[in-house]
Structure 1
Amino acid sequence: MLHGIRFTVKPGEIVAVLGANGAGKTTLLRTLSGLVRPTRGSVVFDGEDLRGVRVEHLVRRGIAHVPEGRGVVTELTVDENLRLGGLWRRDRGDAARALDEVYDLFPALAQRRASAGHQLSGGERQMLALGRALVGRPRLLLLDEPSLGLAPKITAQILALLRDLRERTGLAVLLVEQNVRSALSVADEGIVLALGRVVTRNKAVELRDDADLRHAYLGF
């Protein structure tokens, strides 16, 4: 459960959500994306309270959620998975451009566009899940544990991509990441959760340098 959590993510900002297992990180993202409905409080985006808004309508408003586990449709090809991310878009020309841009961002996917999801490596599936979200041109990206099970090199590539997208497009990112050092290296600010409550929020560099906080809540 979450209790009294209050924060803002601005356009062009990466905010890392940190804490031990069970702290409420994934629940927070699921609440923001409409998969869990809060009993109290509000979720405000562009000045509108989104409580009760259906998930598909949140996507149309510009919120994309890439859940833990690299959820792709394994029976579909890479290209078919990516096109799912833009099915709702009315501007078919821009949807096609967005698809091409994802292939430019992830050359490995371009090389395997006809491969089925189950044929991909873990890193390729993570790229595919992220690429599918980006085809929808989100303004807020909710990203849950993108490094889980991946080689450090692939993790570094994905985090570097987030930083580049933030700078080029103004994308706002709320990042849940088990690799605290990696998360703080790319984030502007961090929120530390414990038992569903915010312990602290501070600039990423301040959290990284706070030895007492790191030992108590972040495990390093």
Structure 2
Amino acid sequence: MSTALLEVKQLTVGYGAAPVLHEVDLTIGEGQIVAVLGANGAGKTTLLRAISNMLPITAGTAKFDGIDLKPVKVERMVRHGIAHVPEGRGVVTELTVEENLRLGGLWRKGKPDLDEVYDLFPAIANRRNHLGHQLSGGERQMLAIGRALVAKPRLLLLDEPSLGLAPKITAQIMGLLRDLRDRTGLAVLLVEQNVRSALSVADEGVVLNLGRVVTRQKADTLADDADLRHAYLGF
């Protein structure tokens, strides 16, 4: 792993007066996939939302390539190289596939190159003129990820990409993440309830419990740790 691309130190975040994350430390390097795992309510989504400044940081810091993210506005995160795909496959259902993808590149000069996304996701390439509401759940997830990739991020924050999807589509998306990491050096911070899928593509796994980091281990080591899996991951 290279020097840290994302460095989170002693991060404390909450909703109102109630803290959800407690002094979380996390690093991710160029070209690394880190899976954030834990039960519902562990603070996984809150972590991503804090990094992208959708939630205010109460204490601690989050730095990207040495830049303090706290003063960076949410809408400018993509200019710094961070793309966030939230849970729920958020696409603009009234727009076509191609119009959704072009939204991802609005901040760049000139027309965004969509061919790479279409090559990655042939299913949506064949439906580029269809409206968002006409897509299946898997196609919407592909579109949401594709729109993020149009921005050419260095770090992708990906929240529950397999939620509600068939195993075949989940495997396709996980394989894509590994391929992008290998080909482009994209770093991915992956929140995922499907622990086996996440660990199959991640380099490392971080386990959260009640807003605190319980452990960080290599993905294959974590997958083999039966006691920890039973205690915190439910399998």
Return the TM-score normalized by structure 1.
0.97
Provide, for residues 51-89 of structure 1, a one-character-per-residue CA deviation record: whole Å limited to 9, x for no partner.
021012111010000000000000000000000000001
1:118 to 2:133 alignment: yes
Q: Which residue of 2 aligns with 1:56?
A: 75
Match for residue 134 of structure 1? Answer: 149
Partner of 1:37: 56
Give me the TM-score of the superposition, normalised by structure 2. 0.91
Alignment match of 1:23 (pick from 28, 42, 49) = 42
Match of 1:157 among 164, 172, 178: 172
Q: Which has the higher contact order (CA 8 A, sep 6+)?
A: 1
- Cα separation, 2, equivalents of 1:15 and 1:89: 28
Q: Distance in 2 between matches of 1:177 and 1:28?
A: 13
Structure 2: which amino acid aligns with 1:34? N
CA distance in 2, matches of 1:57, 1:79: 22
Q: Is the Cα–Cα contact under 8 Å of residues 16 and 176 in structure 1 kept in the other structure?
A: yes
Aligned with 1:68: secondary structure? coil
In the alignment, which of 185, 192, 213 is matched to residue 170 of structure 1?
A: 185
Count of paired positions: 216
Long gaps (5+) in structure 2: 1-19
Give matches, 1:34-113, under 5 Å: 34-90=53-109, 92=110, 95-96=112-113, 99-113=114-128
TM-superposed CA distance for 1:14, in Å, is: 0.3
Contact 1:37 1:52 in 2 (8 A): no
Runs of 4+ that moved beyond 6 A: none
Matched with 1:8 is: 27
The percentage of aligned residue pairs carrying the same residue is 77
Give SS of 1:7's match.
Answer: strand
User: Which deviates further from its counterpart, 44-53 or 192-201?
Assistant: 44-53
For the residue of structure 2 that corresponds to 1:43, the secondary structure is strand
The one-letter code sitting in structure 1 at the alignment partner of 2:37 is L
State the Cα RMSD in Å. 0.7
Which is richer in helix?
1
Deviations 1:17-75 (A, max 9, x none): 00000000000000011101101111100111110210121110100000000000000
2:208 matched residue in structure 1: 193
Deviations, residues 80-117 of structure 1 (Å, cap 9, x unaligned): 00000000012x25x22xx1100111111111000000
Q: Which amino acid aligns with 1:196?
A: G
- The C-alpha deviation readout for 1:196-219, integer Å capped at 9, x for no partner, is 000000100111011110000000
- C-alpha distance in 2, partners of 1:37/1:59? 18
